Amino acid sequence: MVTSMSPLADLLGEKFMETAVKMGIQTTLDFNAPGGRLGAGLFTFNIRDGIRHSAAVALLQPSLERHPSRVSLRTFTTVERLELSEGSPRRVVAVHGSDNRNAPFSIPIHEKARVVLTAGTILTPGLLLQSGIGNLDYAKESKLKEPEVMMPAAGRNIQDHPAVGVVFEVDPPLNQDMRSDYTIFANWTTRAGTATLNEIPSTFNYPGFSTGAFLMSGIEPDGNSEAVPDLQLTVFPIMIEPHLTNEFVLESPHKILVTVAAVNPRTTYHLRGTSGETKNGDDDDDDDGVDSSHESSMPSIEGELHPLDVQKLARGVKMVREIFSSDPLVTFVSKESNPGTEVNTNAELEAWVLETHTSNSHWCCSCKMGEDAVSSVVDGDLRVHGMENLYVADASVLPSIPNGNVHSTVVAVASVFAQRLAKAIRAEKEV
């Protein structure tokens, strides 16, 4: 029997691991270790003092506490446009935006200061475009002025880990009783600290799942075997991903979810403009048809699922079915409710994948790093091509999507960039 020393293990996860071992599926102790990605195992989470540790708490809060006079945080604030200098190379000379009451603000940028954008894969290229840096076609779609700094790759080459959800009904239950856990926690919080955090259920350090697997689909493009796993299975003992199944049944003890994601995808997406619609929905165009308000709506993301990714996800569903029809998991499964056993042939599964697949919200690569301003947006130092003091340090700069969840990669990129930028600034001051 496979048991886990992790406090995050749940009964479904334990049975999943037991089944994987009996089926001969490779197991791993650490998905993030060199050579450890392939196989079934426990996921790693950042847990400290019984609570999930976010990047804001781990990285931002210490800076605010250590350097209160040098680091400031503006909440409920939106940056809407960067003002650029004339001439070449261009510089950011001011940052313009508004607060939650729509009160405008402007921040002048010192001659030697740097500006670092971290608005994310969707909003960073949009903010660049609002500032006169970007893709000409995207600008026309959004009815904005022609970019002063052309950047054809901005808002293109976007990637994600497309996913589908397989739902099983089980009896007896394999999940945690989340309602009871929350009730116990609520009672504990009203007892004026008579109990310690360690004496209550681990509801608030439990992310909703503990186990999964990275597997090879066996679908080999052009006859070449893939060097890395191309499917990720995540096993949820509670239904907490409603966007995958259009249902949210936290209280149900008899439904479990397994997500299948393509983690080495061929699919790419692009941003599509908003036709110049302003925040209040009014047409605020100038006579020349150009929107001068800088208040465009959220852009849409468009793209077709690559045929190979469709095949891989369909194969992944079959692999999940094989695992859950094997001992000991099979003794718990009473029914497959999504997609259902009536969806069975390759053609039926691929049609279902095309109809039901959804985003994993792992968007990246819209301002990817590279050597030139035609095929990329930032250089190896993450500086925007053609700009002297403008950098990007978020998921958008990744040249291609990581083979797994992107959060740790983005944190690593930002951390290394911050260290290098700080070193460069110190070196300038010493000259």
CATH number for the domain that contains residue 27: 3.30.410.40
pLDDT band, residue 58 (cuts 50/70/90): confident
Mean pLDDT over 335-353 rounds to 95
Interatomic CA distance for residues 129 and 142, integer angstroms? 9
Sheet hosting strand 92-99, strand order edge to edge: 77-84, 92-99, 104-108
- Joined tokens for residue 180: 């009871």
Burial of 397 (0-12, 13-18, 19+ CB in 10 A): buried
Residues 51 and 139 in one domain: no
Quick one: pLDDT at residue 198? 52
Burial of 39 (0-12, 13-18, 19+ CB in 10 A): middle
- Joined tokens for residue 153: 């790759």
Quick one: pLDDT at residue 81? 94
pLDDT tens, position by position, 26-36: 999 999 888 89
Contact 343, 350 (CB under 8 A): no
Quick one: pLDDT at residue 87? 83
Mean pLDDT of all residues in the chain? 84
pLDDT tens, position by position, 177-225: 556 655 655 555 555 445 555 555 455 566 778 899 999 999 876 555 5
Residue 1 within a domain: no
Residues 56 and 152 in one domain: no
Phi, psi dihedrals of residue 369, rounded to the nearest 5°: -80, 150
Residue 195 within a domain: yes
pLDDT band, residue 5 (cuts 50/70/90): very low
Residues 152 and 198 in one domain: no
Residue ending a domain, choose from 56, 73, 90 = 73
Quick one: pLDDT at residue 188? 52
Is residue 249 scored above 80 in pLDDT? no
Residue 207 within a domain: yes
Interatomic CA distance for residues 20 and 16, integer angstroms? 6
Residues 145 and 213 in one domain: no
pLDDT band, residue 295 (cuts 50/70/90): very low
Residue ending a domain, choose from 356, 376, 396 = 356
- Which of the residue ranges 221-225, 269-273, 365-369, 407-411 has the most confident prediction, judged by mean pLDDT? 365-369
Residues 419 and 332 in one domain: no
Residue 318 within a domain: yes
Question: β-strand 270-272 against 300-302: which pairing, if any?
Answer: antiparallel
DSSP 363-413: -B-TT-B-SSTTT-SB-TT-BBTTBSSEEE-SGGG-SS--SS-SHHHHHHH
Residue 122 within a domain: yes
Count how many domains the chain has: 3
CATH number at residue 129: 3.50.50.60
The percentage of residues in the chain with a pLDDT greater than 70, rounded to a whole number, is: 80
Q: Is 213 helix (H, G, I), strand (E, B) or coil?
A: strand
Residue ending a domain, choose from 73, 90, 120 = 73
Residue 309 within a domain: yes
Residues 196 and 312 in one domain: yes
CA dihedral 190, 194, 200, 203 (to 10 degrees): 40
Quick one: pLDDT at residue 229? 93
* Boundaries of domain holding 133: 79-156+271-301+363-430
pTM given for the model: 0.85
Residues 252 and 275 in one domain: no
Quick one: pLDDT at residue 284? 42
pLDDT tens, position by position, 93-137: 999 999 988 999 999 999 889 999 999 999 999 999 999 999 898
Residues 66 and 212 in one domain: no
Higher-confidence position of 334 and 277: 334
Closest to 230 measured CA to CA, from 238, 222, 241, 219: 219
Quick one: pLDDT at residue 77? 92
Interatomic CA distance for residues 344 and 347, integer angstroms? 8
Q: Please give the span between the terminal C-alpha atoms of the chain, in angstroms, as a whole number.
A: 64
pLDDT tens, position by position, 130-173: 999 998 988 888 888 899 999 999 999 999 999 999 999 998 87
Residues 257 and 277 in one domain: no
Residues 260 and 212 in one domain: yes
Residues 289 and 405 in one domain: yes
Contact 84, 92 (CB under 8 A): yes
Residues 233 and 313 in one domain: yes
Residue 2 within a domain: no
